[in-house]
Structure 1
Amino acid sequence: MSDTTERLHMSGIVKRFPGTVALDGVDLSVRAGEVHCLLGENGAGKSTLMKILAGSYQPDEGTILLDGEPYRPATPHAGLAAGIAVIYQELDLLPDLTVAQNLLLGRAPRLGPFVRRARRAGLAREALDRVGANFPVTTPVRELPIAARQLTAIAKALTADARVIVMDEPSATLGESELARVFEVIRSLTAEGRSVIFISHRMEEVMEIGHRATVLRDGRTAGVFDLSSTGPGELVAAMIGEAKELVRPTAHPAPEGEPRLSVERVHVPGLLDVRGIEVRPGEIVGLAGLGGAGRTTLLRALFGDIKAQVTARLDGVPLRPGSPAAAVRAGLALVPESRKEQGLMLGLSVSRNAAIAALGRPPWLMPGRTGRRITADALTALGVKSAGPGQLVGQLSGGNQQKVVLAKWITRGRIRVLLLDEPTRGLDVGAKADLYRQVRHLAGQGVAVLLASSELNELTANADRIQVLYEGRNVAGFDPRVSPESVIAHTVITGATP
């Protein structure tokens, strides 16, 4: 068990982004030799707080002490040098380098200007052995399976001799035996006096490995709990809020009739196995779930953007989304979560981006006046704020970029199924209302909508039905008109209906 010596103290941490306050006076205290669990729903502020700790973000307000000394890293490299190692859920490994090169990147043993390769390999082997990994240190990371990459990332933190190790959903890609070995490593680290911040949505893991837990909710500290005297139900209640403000569901009648999209099964080995989802013309079906539950993977698979086994029908005809181009021809449209990487060409104008799907030609060959003419109505309806249609879309705020992605599909028309992945991320309240008004307008024209969002109150306000995904499977379905938000949230977090 940990002692009472304070290793890390974060006090009054505030972080603002355009249109939102991600952290609003958060406190976090971690003891030496402690496994401290950091809990909260998606969007509660966990990742932002850890990026501040790592040096990736700078806080707008607040103080941080590390072993009693002021700590404010300007970069992740400075954070690592100070003894903070963060293992993100999106692993920050370089795929073209070997395991040994990744483990000791920037810290390889040298003899003058030359890397001592044998010594580096030996140190890497020791770190891998400690986490129970038996693959060669000469293996390029891109050739490793996902679970092996996770173990590599943990081993990398060990080579850094960190005082505080942050593990963000470490079990998401691990099997039971691999996770048991990781827990052994965590216990050995805390026995040495190191501190571990453990982020997980799996209550059974939290109760097994944790000493204390801090719960974040809506960017604030909702409570600190001694896990030896706290049950999972109390933690869940703190995460979702017993008196959480609800948004009333829309009053329109639920659509009826034959489904437009009927998903028999979407399977990605080791990641996703979703069955039996239907969406009718004019219906909005919400996808709820924690990070890693499979919502993004499901939408990308239906859009032909990743390799998957898809058995589905579109208006009764087999859907074969071999590629995004084939999906678009079939009448599917995707507003992706990663708008900058997948949804936009940042070096081109607002109007050219919004017109590309409608005109079906390279946007640099498109007359500027044509793009402005055909996109004006959609951009206006969505309330896109820009210096004009000729402004580069990369210069817009993230929320306005997201609206341009939706405008692209509204301009094209001929949509039968609209796939929305976190469509309101980065939007303020008014912009969210504009976007959902347009989505409901599209549904009113017969478009079937599949909406993935980590904002449960948005799903209960806008979806006709909600499907909960948990660890790659759809585990429950709810009618938000009759199911309390707390019941749905409990299922999102635990994977089981209360």
Structure 2
Amino acid sequence: MTTEAETPRLTMSNIVKRFPGTVASDGAELSVRRGEVHCLLGENGAGKSTLMKILAGSYQPDEGEILLDGQRVVLNSPQAGLAAGIAVIYQELDLVPDLSVAQNLLLGHAPATGPIVRKQKRLELARAAITRVGGDFPVTATVRDLPIAAQQLTAIAKALTSDARVIVMDEPSATLGENDLLKVFEVIRSLVAEGRSIIYISHRMDEVMEIGDRATVLRDGRTVGVYDVARTGPEQLVAAMIGQERELVQSTERPRPEGEVLLEVERVRIPGVIDIAGIDVRAGEIVGLAGLGGAGRTTLLKSLFGDIKAARTVRLDGASLRVASPAAAVRAGLALVPESRKEQGLMLGLSVARNAAVTALGRPPWLLPRRIGKARTAPVLDDLGVRFASPDQPVGKLSGGNQQKVVLAKWITRGGVRVLLLDEPTRGLDVGAKADLYRQVRQLADDGVAVLLASSELNELTANADTIWVLHEGRNVAHFDPRTTPETTIAHTVITGVTP
């Protein structure tokens, strides 16, 4: 007979979640004990985020079941997850920036007498929660005004106020310094001593070995192993994450570019965020940027494009490149396809033609003459294979793949692009749309454009890049020739920051 202490706190069995064109979770399993720090490991795209969003109630599984303390639960909304005693601290913090720390901590369950919030009591409870996580900032402060480390501690304290049985921490160290992380580890140890269960997601093996009791490794949406951390070395965990079935990557069909160096990134530095130096891109070359989430790829591309302030020493065709804004970068011949096409790359309510012509005609898109916009963009949209009912169709009505092609089309339509910066260009695209996009990128490179390509999909980088740089914790730590380097070697460096 199973005693209460032996019953797992959490059991997720045969979890399947399908999205159009992909299976994000393919029968994944997760079992977490009471009073345990259980590490959830896997490469980018392994299925960790999907599994945790299902646990939080943000996604509903297509198959499988979830048990909490032996009882089956249906978590059909984030509110249901919270009510069941599950708190998730996402890497992108789930805080309301314009509210105070105290308001955030007790949002939805503030102490009250009837409809009136007892503000003094709320302040007392908030101070106790912040003190417990080692914070020394006022709970009356607006979250937006706090340093990112203080915001992270606030998110952890918020989970404590909900009396959660299971607390998920998604990459908590990504924004914390060493001292703050030590505080978090102390909090974690006190929580498990109370019998709470922690699911700790991290790519940093030193943290896993320090704080973890057991670890579940996911790969391609499946659970590939459960390990006792004390009896397992970090190399074994990394090997499980990478898998041993990968073979030497096949050589790209493109001849190696021999053009002159066009873009020289001598150094781009933001203190405490990135310090990247010595990346060169030749005319006609595709240089890949590999790295885990938070490694600095997006920050580097935005810095080069003038969208983030940084100390930059960059040369374009031998001359110093000074870009104080994205507009200056565009004038210099740089183009950026951003990570979020819907938020940064497109104006979803405007037509396909207006979006594709906006950079070419240099005026507000609502002032673009329809006839000129259509004539200018038609051949580019046709060459990219963009599928739409009409050039006047709102771009927001297109599929994700076609939207991404329109983002690329606006730069091709403009012409004069010398350096193309691509940030996760195939995210959310199906296989056919990915192939179409990379075909066009290779064509641009063949025409002499220097391409800097950031992607979490290592197999896409090895198939399309001429050189791959690995970024790790804000620094570029190694570069590889994908024609001759095993993908496992690159993947190992992505995870650990060290070349095996």
Tell me the TM-score range normalised by the shorter chain. over 0.9
Instruction: For residue 374 of structure 1, report the CA deviation from its aligned partner.
Output: 2.0
2:379 matches 1:395:
no
1:63 is matched with 65
How big is the shift at 1:257? 4.2
Query: Where does 1:29-428 land on structure 2 (aligned, <5 Å)?
Result: 29-244=31-246, 247-428=249-430
C-alpha displacement at 1:43, in angstroms?
1.0
Q: Distance in 1 between matches of 2:341 and 2:248?
A: 28
Matched position secondary structure for 2:13? strand
Deviation larger for 289-298 or 344-353: 344-353
- CA deviation string 1:272-329 (max 9, x = no partner): 1111111010000000000000000000010011111111011111111111111001
Aligned twin of 2:460 = 458
1:389 is displaced (CA, Å) by: 2.3
The answer to whether the Cα contact below 8 Å between 1:335 and 1:405 also exists between their aligned partners in 2 is yes
Q: Deviations over 1:472-494 (max 9, x none)?
A: 00011111112111111110000
Q: Summarize the alignment of residues 426-437 of structure 1 with structure 2, pairs less than 5 Å apart.
A: 426-437=428-439
SS at match of 1:260: strand
- Give the equivalent residue in structure 1 for 2:448: 446
2-structure distance, mates of 1:378, 1:205: 49
Is the deviation greater in 359-368 or in 91-100? Answer: 359-368
Deviation string for 1:334-361 (max 9, x for gaps)? 0000111100001111221111111111
Q: Distance in 2 between matches of 1:188 and 1:201?
A: 23
Q: After TM superposition, give the deviation of residue 74 of structure 1 in Å.
A: 2.2
Alpha-carbon distance in 2 for matches of 1:91, 1:62: 28
Q: Distance in 1 between matches of 2:396 and 2:248?
A: 35
Greater shift after overlay, 487-496 or 357-366? 357-366
- State the one-letter code of the partner of 2:207: E
Structure 1 counterpart of 2:480, one-letter code: F
Which amino acid in 1 is paired with 2:85? G
What TM-score, normalized by structure 2, do the two folds share? 0.97
C-alpha contact 1:5 1:31 (8 A) present in aligned 2 = yes
How far 1:17 moved relative to its partner?
1.6
Give the whole-Å Cα distance in 1 for the aligned partners of 2:390 and 2:29.
42
Q: Is the 8 A contact 1:3 1:34 kept in 2?
A: no
Residue 275 of structure 2 aligns to which amino acid in structure 1? D
Contact 1:383 1:431 in 2 (8 A): no
- TM-score w.r.t. the length of structure 1 is 0.97
Among 484, 492, 495, which residue is 2:497 paired with? 495
Question: Would the aligned equivalents of 2:87 and 2:162 in 1 still touch at CA under 8 Å?
Answer: yes
Poorly superposed stretches of 4+, deviation over 4 Å: none
> Hey, what's the Cα distance between the residues in 1 that align with 2:247 and 2:28?
21
In 1, are the aligned partners of 2:401 and 2:434 still within 8 Å (CA)?
no
Q: CA deviation at 1:253?
A: 2.9
CA–CA separation in structure 1 for the residues paired with 2:249 and 2:407: 26
CA contact (8 A) 2:291 2:456 kept: yes
Q: Judging changes above 3 Å, is the alpha-carbon distance between structure 1 residues 370 and 245 closer, same or farther for their aligned structure 2 residues?
A: farther
User: Which amino acid is the alignment partner of residue 216 of structure 1?
Assistant: L
2:339 and 2:69 map into 1 onto residues whose CA distance is 38
Cα displacement string for residues 68-89 of structure 1 (whole angstroms, at most 9, x for unaligned residues)? 2222222212211211100000
TM-superposed CA distance for 1:191, in Å, is 1.0
Alpha-carbon offset, residue 12 of structure 1: 1.5
Aligned partners of 2:249 and 2:487 also within 8 Å: no
% identical equivalent positions: 76
C-alpha displacement of 1:246? 5.9
Question: How far 1:59 moved relative to its partner?
Answer: 1.4
- CA deviations on 1:214-241 (whole Å, 9 max, x unpaired) are 1111111122112122111111111111
CA contact (8 A) 1:14 1:62 kept: yes
User: SS of 2:9's equivalent?
Assistant: strand
The structural deviation recorded for 1:3 is 5.9
Distance apart, 1:252 and its partner CA = 2.8
Cα distance in 2 for residues equivalent to 1:76 and 1:460 = 38
- Separation in 2, partners of 1:58, 1:195: 22
Q: C-alpha distance in 2, partners of 1:314/1:286?
A: 18
1:409 partner SS: helix
Q: Retained in 2: the 8 A contact 1:349–1:393?
A: yes
Find the aligned partners of 2:363 and 2:54 in 1 and give their Cα distance.
43
Any conservation in 1 of the 2:249–2:483 contact (CA below 8 Å)? no
C-alpha separation in 1, matches of 2:181 and 2:451: 37
Question: Aligned-pair RMSD on alpha carbons?
Answer: 1.4
